[in-house]
Amino acid sequence: MKITDLKCAIIGNHPVVRIATDEGIDGIGAGESSKPYIKWHVLYYKDMILGEDPRDVERVMKRIRRRGAFKPWGTAVSAIEVALWDIAGKAAGQPIYRLLGGKVRDKVRVYNGNIRQKLKSYSPEDMAANMKWMKDLPHNFSIIKQGIAFHGDMATDTPDFYYGENVESYNYPNRGRMTERGLKHTIACVEAMKEVLGDEVGLALDVGPGVIPQDALKLAKALEHVNLMWMEDMITGDYTPYVLAELYRDVSINTTTPIHTGEQIYLRQNFMDLIEKRAVDVIGPDPLDVGGIAELKWIAEYADLYGIGMAPHGTLDGLIGTAALVQVSATLPQNYIAFELPNAEFEWWHDIIEGLPPKDQMVKDSHIDVCDTPGLGISFNDEAKKYLKEEDADFFTD
């Protein structure tokens, strides 16, 4: 089997990858809906993989993996890797999880970091009311994540929150020492949210990046009594192109609150410091940024040896990303906690993707059933053509 084409179309705002072969089997992958600009980067790899056998996933990846980087520049490599696994699975007549060594669980736990209402304000009362709405969702989520401090607009919308100048730009560029008021406000909001959840639902926090290490430790210690699931990306994270494992370690070893990072990190080598120094308690690579499904699994296996948990990122990964997350999460060791449930960027995604349960039946009691359909277990139907842009009109034709 040979790769005959690599295409990328922007569907909604997702860069969607399709790899065609000379045997009529094709594979799909995608990047987050925040990254339509990645299309050229996908096509950049085309000449490097044409003619290769897509079932030899690692052999193909060796040709392109070195030319990726931290988020967002790991997206194209990752989306191609997912499409290769899709082909390998279809060719073998097996779901991807079988090719990765088989499943460890029949259903995978998901957490909510994505299905939310706009916050009225960053007051403890409004944050608690917002949390109540999420707790009451029919998904019956067992873990819910909320953004506080530098993640979201709390730091910039709350007067005298920190010593620093607000920069208006994408993905949380602000950083600085928090004021006493800022610290107290953050703690009050977290306590109010946890009050709503009780001990029935775990509370996770996305906190930065932008918290300085001393404040990160102060917050983590002050919130120990709340029994958080984790505090995420306090020091670095999101689009930060480095790790700073030592700073995380200083925080982690001095508090019982679990510390989490990793959604922006590309490749296993860049997780080594975090894992081997046991600098965090939970890591959250995203299969569509870290280098793909097999890369994420390798990192999870290695992290498990060091007692580190896995809670993969997924917010904007869409339905194709959901399928990839289900396949890989089914195979992870027992350090697996839950992945962050992506949702469809637009409702119509549910009309054009076949193979997933209907929207309102996909998540039952905070879990998704692992399906046995070959490959990713999903495919586009004819409706999808309606959503192709003119420049991508030949996306589904070979």
For Mg ion, which stretch binds (CB under 5 A), given 37-45, 202-210, 271-279, 373-381? 202-210
For Mg ion, which stretch binds (CB under 5 A), given 41-49, 73-81, 201-209, 251-259? 201-209
Which run of H or of E encompasses 9?
A: strand 3-11
Provide, rounded to whole angstroms, the least separation between the CB of residue 361 and Mg ion.
27
Could you give phi then psi for residue 80, rounded to 5 degrees?
-65, -40
* Residue nearest to Mg ion according to CB distances in the complex: 206
Provide, rounded to whole angstroms, the least separation between the CB of residue 53 and Mg ion.
36
Query: Which residues, 6+ apart, have CB-to-CB distance to 2 below 8 Å?
Result: 21, 22, 51, 52, 53
- Please identify, using beta-carbon distances, which residue of 314 and 374 lies nearer to Mg ion: 314
Provide, rounded to whole angstroms, the least separation between the CB of residue 261 and Mg ion.
9
Provide, rounded to whole angstroms, the least separation between the CB of residue 206 and Mg ion.
4
DSSP 77-146: HHHHHHHHHHHHHHHHTSBHHHHTT--S-SEEEEEBSS--PPPS-SSHHHHHHHHHHHHTSTT--SEEEE
Provide, rounded to whole angstroms, the least separation between the CB of residue 292 and Mg ion.
19
- Please identify, using beta-carbon distances, which residue of 166 and 171 lies nearer to Mg ion: 171
Provide, rounded to whole angstroms, the least separation between the CB of residue 307 and Mg ion.
22
- Please identify, using beta-carbon distances, which residue of 86 and 317 lies nearer to Mg ion: 317
Provide, rounded to whole angstroms, the least separation between the CB of residue 173 and Mg ion.
15
- At 375, the amino acid letter reads G
Residue 129 · residue 347 · CB < 8 Å: no
- At 331, the amino acid letter reads T
Q: Is 206 in the site for Mg ion (CB under 5 A)?
A: yes
Residue 21 · residue 5 · CB < 8 Å: no
- Please identify, using beta-carbon distances, which residue of 26 and 32 lies nearer to Mg ion: 32
Tell me the two tokens of residue 395.
């996306």
- Please identify, using beta-carbon distances, which residue of 74 and 95 lies nearer to Mg ion: 74
Q: Is 289 in the site for Mg ion (CB under 5 A)?
A: no
Task: Please give the size of the binding site for Mg ion, defined by CB under 5 A.
Answer: 1
Residue 6 · residue 80 · CB < 8 Å: yes
Cis peptide before 15 (omega within 30 of 0): no
Axis crossing angle, helix 75-92 with helix 318-329, rounded to the nearest 10? 60
Q: What is the CA radius of gyration of the chain?
A: 21
Counting other chains too, the contacts that 88-93 makes at CB distance below 8 Å and 24 or more residues apart are 88/27, 88/54, 88/55, 88/57, 88/375, 89/374, 89/375, 89/376, 90/25, 90/27, 90/374, 90/375, 91/1, 91/23, 91/25, 91/54, 91/55, 92/55, 92/374, 93/374
Binding residues for Mg ion restricted to 310-369, rule: CB under 5 A: none
- Please identify, using beta-carbon distances, which residue of 95 and 284 lies nearer to Mg ion: 284
- Please identify, using beta-carbon distances, which residue of 309 and 374 lies nearer to Mg ion: 309
For Mg ion, which stretch binds (CB under 5 A), given 7-15, 200-208, 379-387, 388-396? 200-208
Provide, rounded to whole angstroms, the least separation between the CB of residue 231 and Mg ion.
11
For Mg ion, which stretch binds (CB under 5 A), given 19-27, 119-127, 206-214, 346-354? 206-214
Distance, CA of 191 to CA of 267 (rounded, Å) = 36
- Please identify, using beta-carbon distances, which residue of 92 and 119 lies nearer to Mg ion: 119
Q: Is 215 in the site for Mg ion (CB under 5 A)?
A: no
The 155-194 contact track toward Mg ion, x by CB under 5 A, reads ----------------------------------------
**Residues in the site for Mg ion, rule: CB under 5 A?**
206
